Amino acid sequence: MRASIQRSEVSGKVRAPSSKSYTHRALVCASIAEGKSRITSPLTSDDIEATLDVVRKLGVQVNLNPDGWVVLGGDLGEPRVELFCRESGATLRFMTAVCSLVRGRSKLTAGPSLQRRPIKPLVDALRELGVDCNCEGESPPVTVAGGLRGGQAEIRGDISSQFVSAILLVSSLAEEPVTLRLRTPLESKPYVMMTMDTQQRFGVKVEASKDLNVFRVKRQAYSPAEYEVEGDWSSAAFLLASGAIAGEVEILNLNPASLQADGRLLDLLKTMGARVRVAENVISVGRGELEALSTEVSDCPDLFPALSVLCSLAKGRSVISGVGRLRLKESDRVEAMTAGLRRAGITVASGADRVVIEGGRPKAAVVDPRGDHRIAMAFGLLGLACERIVVEDAECVEKSYPSFWSDLVSLGARVGLES
């Protein structure tokens, strides 16, 4: 499917989708907890369906009711088939760790893009904790045969915070207490804090050093819980940015006090000159004279695509640093954004860990998002400010935000979709 976006004026209200990150974590914790949990306001998307499919194949019963999901967890069994994680990195990383709790052998496979992303650092750390697991080179597929003994392990903190979260999610069920040390400083710290927050809601406490470089987990059982998923700042970032670019929008269902890293966008929008107002359960963003900025995104890498578009429309030269790990996402997001912006006539230079963007006037272009949901949504934003942007493979937004295009239309955006 192709999406054609033309210069538009946007206004109105949209409810932010539920958090993908919190839905993954709540579903994993509920699957491990022995008994009945209820998850209300969960996200439904391709990535979440991947996790749903895997936990069900491990014997977890999940009933998808209109008023929420009922999860009967705690009795994990050996899967009879391979566990296909689609293109969901969180599913692969979290469920690799969860399979260490399963008696018998599990094999986790992945879609083409995820097959190119690293998993070996997690596999190596699980081995240190006594788990019998292997991968092919640096990447999936992964085989796991249980045996979570516990003890001490080390892992890098600058490749994927999901490696750290995966280990924390299962450590309380190891035979011995677990101490996890990071060999390099942790990037995307808020995501690990979200993991610990979700675990605490299900009765498991993780002890962490102030710098989040050492974690200690005593043996504890998960308890069933009632869990409501808050709105997703990562997806809402594109809606908020649309107001700064092309009018004024009000976004509902966002928690201003959220642990989610991408809530930082509000401060960045203010710095750039957009009009921002925070009220109870409503965030309003209006157009302003956008100014260039210099910022670092290692703790909030998912903001990079939307922020790149904002910088391309701002007056002056912007510098975005801390982008190195973005080359290991669903696509090489640095290269994908750089190539797309250049097609639209924007001057961009990229290095190993930073991108420099000269604000300008974008021209019409056809953009390939490389199958990456956040790249597709970002160039949807760019179309609001120029003659026309055509986004190929526009359906890839279903990975995290299936209603993105229709929500943009509801705000007044001129979006045409064709097969």
With CA atoms as reference, report the closest residue to 54 among 34, 24, 20, 21.
Answer: 24
Residue given tokens 């929500």 in the structure block: 407
With CA atoms as reference, report the closest residue to 312 among 359, 265, 382.
Answer: 359
Set 46, 47, 262, 302: catalytic member: 302
The domains located in the chain, with CATH, are 2-17+231-418 (3.65.10.10), 20-228 (3.65.10.10)
pLDDT score at 366: 97
Q: What phi and psi, each to the nearest 5 degrees, are found at residue 42?
A: -75, 160
Q: Which helix (H) or strand (E) segment is 70 a member of?
A: strand 68-73
Residue given tokens 């293109």 in the structure block: 87
CB within 8 A of 312, min separation 6: which ones? 341, 344, 346, 348, 357, 359, 360, 362, 382
Tokens at 33, concatenated: 């907890």
pLDDT digit string (tens) for the chain, length 419 residues: 999 999 999 999 999 999 999 999 999 999 999 999 999 999 999 999 999 999 999 999 999 998 999 999 999 999 999 999 999 999 999 999 999 999 899 999 999 999 988 999 999 999 999 999 999 899 999 999 989 999 999 999 999 999 999 999 999 999 999 999 999 999 999 999 999 999 999 999 999 999 999 999 999 999 999 999 999 999 999 999 999 999 999 999 999 999 999 999 999 999 999 999 998 779 999 999 999 999 999 999 999 999 999 999 999 999 999 998 787 667 789 999 999 999 999 999 998 899 999 999 999 999 999 999 999 999 999 999 999 999 999 999 999 999 999 999 999 999 999 98
Sheet holding 207-208, edge to edge: 151-155, 178-182, 214-217, 207-208
pLDDT score at 289: 95
pLDDT score at 281: 77
Whether residue 302 lies in the annotated active site: yes
- Beta strands 106-109 and 139-144 are antiparallel
